[in-house]
Amino acid sequence: MSIKSKLHFFASVAYNSYSGIKASLSYRNNNGFNKFFGKEFSRFKVDFTAFDEKSYLEKNPDLENIKDLYAHFVQIGYDEGREGQFFDKEWYSDFYKDVKLLGIDPLVHYNKFGFSEGRKARFIKIKCVNHSIDEIDYSKWLSLNSSILLPSVGEILTRINNLKYKPKISIIVPVYNPPLRFLEAAVDSILNQTYDNWELCIADDASTNAEIKEYLQNLPQKDARIKTVFRKKNGHISEASNSALSIATGEFIGLLDHDDMLFRDALFHVVDALNVNYNLDLIYSDEDKCDEKGYRFDAYFKSNFNYELLLAQNMICHFAVYRHSLIQEIGGFRKGFEGAQDYDLVLRFIEKTTKDKIFHIQKVLYHWRAISGSTALNIDQKSYAMNAGQKSVKEHLERIGATAEVLDNPEQPGHFHVRYAIPSPMPLISIIIPTRDMKDILQNCIDSILNKSTYKNFEIIIVDNQSSSSETLEYFANVSDKRIKIIKYDAPFNYSKINNFAAQTAKSEYILLLNNDIEVITPNWLEEMLSFAQKPDIGCVGARLWYPDDTLQHGGVILGIGGVAGHAHKYLEKGKTGYFARAVNHQALSAVTGACLLVKKSIFDEVNGLNEDLQVAFNDIDFCLKVLSKGYRNVWTPFAELYHYESKSRGAEDTDEKLKRFKKEREIMYDLWSESLLKDAYYNPNLSYTFEDFRLRNNLTV
């Protein structure tokens, strides 16, 4: 099977020989290697086409049915920590002159004759090293990837000349008494743009600093594309932004604060995206922060448009470019939302467009100045911004006819928790729990549901998969709660078949898949999950699951991590908020775990339930992707919390039978979803695909 992957590695290599020689590997140019890695490697006396498949298979017997073991190593095996060996052809032919004289391929000679003759060989061993190789700070990351992030001006200008569509972009800058040097830097970042069809619209909001006014008055003489308007009375940022907007003539409006900066090619990347899709209404990018000395840090590599995350935080923020006509249609910025005026703007704006007209540029195009008193440094310094943000979300939901509470997120100030009203009468939820023996674990799960849940309209379907323990059978016999029914599944374990079988007996509107090693924490867990699951455009809903030691077991699923998928923020300590608070905010994700998954029965049936070819692994991921393919969003909420007693040191797939089954199920996922696994819309390719903690990826493909 061919997987069109471009996963890269930053390899740590021990260059070993019989004499113990060691050296480091540098990049080299090799077409076979580049087929998968997409990078050029400088030569270091190594032929990377000489992959030792024999040793790889000996060390990894579970791969016996893989046709292309080299492809497996560069696409999957490296990230899994498997070791690959490359035969050093040049050393072999130099050491054995007769081989060179014969003109025989050194690897062919070694395999056919040299090994049995007792000849020496030298190999390069490559293996994924410990976590520290990916633990790089942002400044080092920028340095490592500078050639990718910053092509030459000449290259960009050539690409600009080839653009067919070159709309004017009006950059809106409200100004009030910034430090002059920061204002100059902001203006210079526009003047230095490689794309030149722009205008800079500055509105001074009655600054009291005479230097600011003098500087602004002279700007139009410096460049005719700069326009200024001077307000006679201070009206705060919303009114000042509208004043700047009133002199804008571009097709698109970009927002820039008076002390921030744009990346040199920011406008080019925006227009480049518009040339791919002329119909885009909103384009936004990743962003980072910079201090007073220009040191860059705290990069926010964002999700693609994520409505549930947007309701929790302004995940659009900087750099955002809006279609001018729609800005005019919604009336520009609203007074009374100062501090969150751009949040209010984007929430009103998306009501006038559709998801397919919103595009995310996966590059840092904006540098947010972090100085004393700035929300970039600490949102707590502007409590009025938090209040305005909450008001923005509340009024947005009212405008679209959604009945919901907008609560403060207690784990992250300035972020919000949307709780939609539960319909009346409360719909029935069928909680499906497969089990086999382990009475104590099952009973703990059942008791926590019955005793802690505030939502009462549910049934529990226990699926007995060939239990034989006398205490388990006795427990079944003594169950008296009428909400519990026990059905028998008398066949070998197959998670998908068991749940599909149980779902056929459910008469409810909603199905909740639940593992038997779960314990309820938050009493309103079902209400929180149903809050989202009831929405017509939402499919699967997952919960926040904790290990017994209060580290995170499940914060949603990220596709591509470890080859197929990984759990976001796994092992994060309780009390920590994760990457830009994504571990504590509700959000859309490609998938959630089947250990606790709520979905409408109609959607479950629409996608024909779980894939029964996936007996143990990945069936929940496949199910979520099927739901996603039907146009529904899958959502994870941190406000439904449960313990999951899955062991951190869970047993490895170490028997022949398990290895063959796991390999087969992984291959099924690659066959069905290979493209999706490499392009998770709710992740970012600048982040690691090896680790689950949103650390920076030190080997870019973008």
3-class secondary structure per residue, 463-489: EECCCCCHHHHHHHHHCCCCCEEEEEC
Residues 265 and 377 in one domain: yes
Q: Are residues 118 and 173 in the same domain?
A: no
Is 56 exposed, middle or buried (CB count within 10 Å of its CB: 0-12, 13-18, 19+)? buried
- Let me know if residue 335 belongs to a domain: yes
81: left (phi over 0), alpha (psi -120 to 50) or beta: left
Residue 480 lies in a domain: yes
Domain boundary among 322, 350, 382: 382
Same domain? For 178 and 277 the reply is yes
- pLDDT over threshold 50, residue 3: no
Give a yes or no: residue 693 inside a domain: no
Task: Give me the helix-helix angle, 180-191 and 210-222, nearest 10°.
Answer: 10
Structure confidence at residue 32 (pLDDT): 36
Considering the domain architecture, whether residues 208 and 114 belong to the same structural domain is answered as no
Residue 4 has pLDDT above 60, yes or no: no
Q: How many domains does the chain have?
A: 3
> Rounded distance, CA 384 to CA 340, Å?
9
Q: Is 523 helix (H, G, I), strand (E, B) or coil?
A: coil
Bridge partners for 487 per DSSP: 463
pLDDT of residue 70: 72
- The HSE-up count of residue 66 (CA atoms within 13 Å, CB side) is 28
Range of the domain at 252: 149-382
> Which residue type sits at 365?
L
Q: Confidence class of residue 672 from pLDDT cuts 50, 70 and 90?
A: very high
* The pLDDT value given to residue 81: 66
411-459 pLDDT per residue, tens = 999 999 999 999 999 999 999 999 999 999 999 999 999 999 999 999 9
Distance separating alpha carbons of residues 151 and 141, to the nearest angstrom: 16
* pLDDT value of residue 20: 24
Same domain, 191 and 284: yes
- CB crowding 294-332: b at 16 or more within 10 Å, else e: eebeebbbbbbbbbbbbbbbbbbbbbbbbbbebbeebeb
Q: What are the phi and psi torsion angles at 656 (to 5°)?
A: -55, -45
List of residues 6+ apart from 279 with CB closer than 8 A = 357
Same domain, 125 and 156: no
Please identify, among 355, 382, 409, the residue that sits at the C-terminal boundary of a domain.
382
Q: What is the mean pLDDT of residues 517-545?
A: 98
pLDDT band at 44 (very low <50, low <70, confident <90, very high): very low
Q: Is 394 within the bounds of a domain?
A: no
Q: Could you tell me if 527 and 422 are in contact, meaning their C-beta atoms sit under 8 angstroms apart?
A: yes
What's the pLDDT tens digit per position in 111-157? 788 877 878 777 776 655 433 344 578 888 888 777 667 888 999 99
Listed residues 360, 382, 404: the one ending a domain:
382
pLDDT at site 139:
86
Q: To 5 degrees, how large is the angle CA 468–CA 471–CA 477?
A: 90
Q: How confident is the model at residue 647 (pLDDT cuts 50, 70, 90)?
A: low
234 vs 213: CA distance, rounded Å: 14
579 and 452 inside one domain = yes
The angle, 0 to 180 degrees and rounded to 10, between the axes of the packed helices 341-350 and 383-399 is 10
In a domain, 485, yes or no: yes
Whether residues 118 and 158 share a domain: the answer is no
Residue 6 belongs to some domain of the structure: no
Residue 427 DSSP label: P
Task: Check whether residue 434 and residue 575 sit in a common domain.
Answer: yes
DSSP code per residue over 493-508: --HHHHHHHHHHH--S
Q: Residue 209: what residue type?
A: N
Q: Reduce the DSSP state of residue 237 to 3 states and report it.
A: helix
Examine residue 353 and state whether it is found in any structural domain, yes or no.
yes
The dihedral region occupied by 317, where left means phi > 0, alpha psi between -120 and 50, and beta the remainder, is: left
Q: Measured between alpha carbons, how far is 336 from 270 in angstroms, rounded to an integer?
A: 30
Examine the domain organization and report whether 122 and 162 are in the same domain: no
Q: Which long-range CB contacts under 8 A does 249-252 form with residues at least 24 apart?
A: 249/168, 249/170, 249/199, 250/167, 250/168, 250/169, 250/170, 250/198, 250/199, 250/324, 251/167, 251/168, 251/169, 251/323, 251/324, 252/167, 252/168, 252/169, 252/170, 252/283, 252/321, 252/322, 252/323, 252/324
Q: Averaging pLDDT over each range in 6-10, 65-69, 357-361, which range is the top one?
A: 357-361
Same-domain pairing of 629 and 490: yes
DSSP assignments along 592-654, one per residue:
--TTEEEEEHHHHHHTTSS-TT-SSSSHHHHHHHHHHHTTPEEEEEEEEEEEE---TTPPPS-
- Answer whether residue 618 shows pLDDT above 80: yes
pLDDT tens digits for range 477-501? 999 999 999 999 999 999 999 999 9
Nearest to residue 341, comparing CAs of 296, 392, 306?
392
Instruction: Please give the pLDDT value at position 526.
Output: 98
Does the residue 218 lie in any domain? yes
CATH of the domain at 174: 3.90.550.10
* pTM of the predicted protein model: 0.81
Kindly state the average pLDDT of the residues 553-557. Answer: 96
What does the pLDDT read at residue 675?
81
Does one domain contain both 358 and 450?
Answer: no
